[in-house]
Copies of this chain bind each other. A is one copy, B any other.
Amino acid sequence: MRESSVVVRPEAKDSGWYSAASRLQAAGLHEAITLFEQAAEVVPIPRSPRPIVIVDYGAGTGHNSVLPICAAISVLRKRTRPEHSVLVTHTDVPENDFTALFRTLSEDPDSYLKRDPASFGSAVGRSYYSQILPSNSVNLAWSSWALHWLSRVPMPVGDHLLAAYSGDAAVRTAYAKQAAHDWHEFVAFRGRELSPGGRLVVMAMGVDGDGELGFQPLVTALVDTLADLVAAGVLTDEERQAMSIPIVGRSAKDFESPFAPSGTFEKLSIARMELFEAEDRFWKQYRSDGKARVLGAQWAAFTRSALFPTLSWALDPNREQPVSVFFDELQKGIAARIEADPVQIRIPLAQLVIEKRAD
């Protein structure tokens, strides 16, 4: 299963959209990066030559994390000498495109490797639902846009792509149980890996005030377009039925569960937690320029990079049409639907700071 999302994408420097700030805004990362900087100010750090260890859990291509990690390193640099090594480790499942990740680290203008000569990057290609780094070795940890992916599909959803929108109570229960188990495991293993006093900042999908996952108009556009594509013969009914997106949003109570009732778990406690709604940057732009076509195109492009790869797992490997045709048609349909009925997308997110007790 996936342990990362493609959310922050590289934009050409001359595209008119590019800036470090826009990359963060796009992904609701502004607040989380501030929390990460604050953590970098206070975590105990080893004395040189022992490297300061930063871990990025669920890194994907690295585009979601290079800026936050740069920001943390800048803060750490005020606390230590320029030559004190910082070792950054990015984790993801073995199937992740690590060549893309290493290219991001060496080529992205916002990469710490470009900015800090005593920083070093590495990767671990193993699921974070086990201990994958030495005990007590991680000073500072980050995870963004990753933990809403479940470690496995507990059961087929049947009536929807997302369990959250299923009418079947058994489906919703199975997914909630899996989500609780995954979060518990993730926290437990980080409890071993974090060094005493170390901190972990998590940003993932939350739920809104009504307990909803958000993204509804986008999900509706996706589901409706898939139905069109079945009708048009681009997709078979079997392929459509096999599709699911094993994503969950978690509530404050869900995040607190492993720590209940004492507030501590594996020497860890939640130092801070916020559920909030990220700005729909595409909507903001639309409100200013009125270009519904651009709004549709932007959300459709986002959906393509964030979700289409997961949908493609359900495709018949012997299908005649290339996958790109399906992707292109699906993206076109989503863009057209959003253009026809422009609406703001609610993006409920959660951010947490988890702290390990100093010995």
Contact = CB atoms under 8 A, between A and B. Distances in A.
B125 A98 contact: yes
B98 A123 contact: yes
Contacts of A166: none
Given A98-B125, A99-B98, A103-B94, A134 B85 contact: yes
A286 interface: no
Contacts of A136: 49
Chain B CB within 10 Å, residue with most, of A96, A125, A132: A125
Contact of A49 (B105, B122, B134): B134
Contacts of A89: 122
B87 A95 contact: no
A109 to B, nearest CB: 17
A89 B118 CA distance: 18
Contact of A94 (B87, B106, B137): B106
A204 interface: no
Interface in A105-154: 105-106, 118, 120-126, 132-137
A51 interface: yes
A83 interface: yes
A65 to B, nearest CB: 15
Contact of A120 (B50, B105, B132): B132
B120 A134 contact: yes
B126 A106 contact: yes
Interface string A54-94: 00000000000000000000000000000101110100001
Contacts of A51: 134, 137
A85 B103 CA distance: 29
Given A50-B50, A118-B134, 15 more contacts: A49-B136, A49-B137, A49-B195, A51-B137, A85-B134, A85-B137, A87-B133, A87-B137, A89-B122, A102-B124, A120-B124, A120-B132, A122-B123, A123-B123, A123-B124
Which 7 pairs across A and B sit closest by C-beta, in order of nearness?
A102-B125, A85-B134, A98-B98, A94-B102, A51-B134, A49-B136, A122-B122
